[in-house]
Structure 1
Amino acid sequence: MLRSMYSGVSGLRIHQTRMDVIGNNIANVNTTGFKSGRVTFNEIFSQTLQGASGASENIGGRNPMQVGLGANISSIDTLMTEGAAQRTDNPLDMKIEGEGFFIVSDAGGFKFTRAGAFRLDEVGNLCNPEGLNVMGWGVDPNTGNIIKDKVNKIKILSAENMYSEPSMTKNITVSGNIKKNDPELADGLTIQLPIYDSLGYKYNVDFMVKKNAKSENQLDLTIMDNSLKDINGVKIGSTSNKLPDGDIPKTITFDTNTGKVVSAAADGSDTQLKIALGSTPTGFSEFSQPIIVDFAGLTLFNEDTTIEGFGGDEDGLGAGAPAGELTDYEIGTDGKILGKYSNDKTKILGQISIAKFKNPAGLQKVGNNLFQVTNNSGEFNGIGTDVTADGGSLNGGVLEMSNVDLSREFTDMITTQRGFQANSRIITASDEMLQELVNLKR
């Protein structure tokens, strides 16, 4: 009877612990990134009253006789299944699609979380609500590429990220239509080409299109000498800015059937001009290389003349730009933070890395939706992993909800309550049996 009473006591204890875990799960049903717990039981050592015996010629074998001594908690597991997505439209909210944890850090070292509710602090660091710095990789200032080395705190609004450096114009594309009967072609039709020097100062260069004296389907193109002007149209002193020898003028030929520019050179060089400018009047900026002007996109249709020039090649590269201020930023599905600037330029500001563990269920909860490594979780190498390495991604403007399943929790609550109730009945029944035993003395 005492054995049964102690078994009932053990049953009460383990079901109380299970109810504690269920209560915690339900309390955190709306906690961002929360991972629910699960309790499993096992039986305690059994007392053997009689051992097993084998069969003989005259008698069969007998099974052992044992009395169990109650139940014990086998494990309290953290379920690492992925929670559902909750849309917030906050650009700094993120959800990991797949495995892994965000890496955050404070004075105590690295912590890990699935809760991606981040924000900027007063100096521009990306942090979680408790002020822990979100960790990731920086950018090589020379190449602009991500350096996948030891993780550091991500500072979006750092001094170097607040502006975009100016860039010199390398390519200009001239496009549009030229009406071959346009009267202005006789004396030369002039348009302005926009260019930027190495410090982002903007100038215009006069570009002339003129009829070829020998053929109606040919035009002569040239950059006019001393044609460098500031943004107000004022000619820059007596600076001579000429094309390399042999490029004045450039004669282009149009196909008589299609009205498009014909190119005989494999590299398209016969449809290009080169502007060699050298030093500029700002005194300390320069054009360190010739500017390529491509006019392969011109046509000779019977429409109004609409010729114009714009910076950049057909892919928009080499356009040149002044310095720009940071106006916006966004975090891509690969964790890269893209800055957008007032000069229409973009650049990578950093990349959020994640941590993966061989046994994520072995991580230990330390509060505030945070985990830390244990001897059974696997170590963090201090570098992290690209979220896309195993097919994962970051979902911006979305948070991961708790993975608590209320239907399961309420079902477990009922069975736990019944288990607790049944074990209490064991204690009551054992007490009554003991009372009857004591009453035998009467």
Structure 2
Amino acid sequence: TTYNYSTTSTVYDSLGTSHLLSTYYVLSSGSTSGQQWNVYYSVNGTTSSGSGITSGGPLSIQFTSTGAVSGAASGTITGLSWADGASGSTIALNFAGSTNYNAPSAVNNIVNDGYGVGQLSNLSVDPSGILFGRYSNGQSATLGQITLTNFKAPQGLQRVGNNYYASTYQSGAPLTGSPQSAGLGSLQSSAVEQSNVDLSTQLVNLIVAQQAYQANAQTIKTQNQVVQTLLTL
């Protein structure tokens, strides 16, 4: 069997295994009212007739005399059984947006809604605290939600050590919610907070403390000398 044009795309079964879907386009008829193309297909990795390839068709696409699709331009491939034991599949084909002009055939875009097996490759958190996981197959998924907790009187919290605090009657009950809600702050992913210490002020305080230490040390030294003098009288 001959054909005028062919193209391939990748489809996936329920186990994430990729399979090659080949489509073959055959010009069926042409007239002043447009042209009709028949689409045949083959899919590998199936249990059909021992060859591992399922073939079928045709699916018909009718074009108008101006090159636009006339009527429905879709079809389905049903009854696919996969050799790897995945669940049976039905593939929906949609040729909407195709055109038929007096020019070499070409594929501008192929979109599919399947994807293969992927490994978690990156994590990110948005300002509202939603944790996203990004995978090596280009997919992403919501993995969780980070919450924030505030208190009516944070200064009333009880320090219990190791940077842990416990609520008390003075602090009030914990108020927990999602970031950016109920007056809670927002989160910024992959950011490091700058130091909130004023270096100039702390340096001055360090010098003052050092001078006070030296003065106290000198006082103790003088006191020891006086005591030694009294003992030798």
TM-score by length of 1: 0.39
SS of equivalent residue, structure 1 residue 361 = helix
* Contact persistence 1:255–1:261 (CA under 8 A): no
SS of equivalent residue, structure 1 residue 394 = coil
Change (3 A) 1:303 1:333: farther
Q: Aligned residues: percent identity?
A: 28
2:87 corresponds to which of 286, 290, 296: 286
Letter paired with 1:286:
S
Letter paired with 1:205:
L
Q: Structure 1 residue 330: deviation in Å?
A: 1.7
Which residue is equivalent to 2:61? 251
Change (3 A) 1:363 1:219: farther
Q: Structure 1 residue 274: deviation in Å?
A: 0.9
Which residue is equivalent to 1:199? 15
- Alignment pair present for 1:377 and 2:179: no
Residues in 1 aligned to 2:152 and 2:8: alpha-carbon distance in whole angstroms: 62
* Contact persistence 1:194–1:309 (CA under 8 A): no
Residues in 2 aligned to 1:213 and 1:255: alpha-carbon distance in whole angstroms: 12
SS of equivalent residue, structure 2 residue 120 = strand
Which residue is equivalent to 2:140? 346
* Contact persistence 1:191–1:308 (CA under 8 A): no
SS of equivalent residue, structure 2 residue 62 = strand
Q: Structure 1 residue 408: deviation in Å?
A: 9.3
Q: Structure 1 residue 339: deviation in Å?
A: 1.7
Which runs of structure 2 are paired with 1:121-140 in the superposition (5 Å)? none
Q: Structure 1 residue 196: deviation in Å?
A: 1.0
Q: Structure 1 residue 276: deviation in Å?
A: 1.0
Residues in 1 aligned to 2:110 and 2:10: alpha-carbon distance in whole angstroms: 7
For structure 2, the 5+ residue unaligned runs are 206-233
For structure 1, the 5+ residue unaligned runs are 1-185, 264-269, 313-317, 414-442
Residues in 2 aligned to 1:363 and 1:254: alpha-carbon distance in whole angstroms: 76
TM-score by length of 2: 0.68
Residues in 1 aligned to 2:198 and 2:52: alpha-carbon distance in whole angstroms: 79
- Alignment pair present for 1:221 and 2:35: no
Which residue is equivalent to 1:322? 116
2:96 corresponds to which of 296, 314, 322: 296
How many aligned residue pairs are there?
A: 199
- Alignment pair present for 1:208 and 2:24: yes
* Contact persistence 2:29–2:37 (CA under 8 A): no
Change (3 A) 1:238 1:325: closer
2:107 corresponds to which of 307, 322, 327: 307
* Contact persistence 2:44–2:52 (CA under 8 A): no
Residues in 2 aligned to 1:387 and 1:215: alpha-carbon distance in whole angstroms: 64
SS of equivalent residue, structure 2 residue 155 = helix
SS of equivalent residue, structure 1 residue 337 = strand
1:356 corresponds to which of 144, 150, 163: 150
- Alignment pair present for 1:237 and 2:51: yes
Change (3 A) 1:362 1:405: farther
Which residue is equivalent to 1:189? 5
Which residue is equivalent to 1:3? none
Which runs of structure 2 are paired with 1:52-201 in the superposition (5 Å)? 187-201=3-17
Residues in 1 aligned to 2:118 and 2:22: alpha-carbon distance in whole angstroms: 26
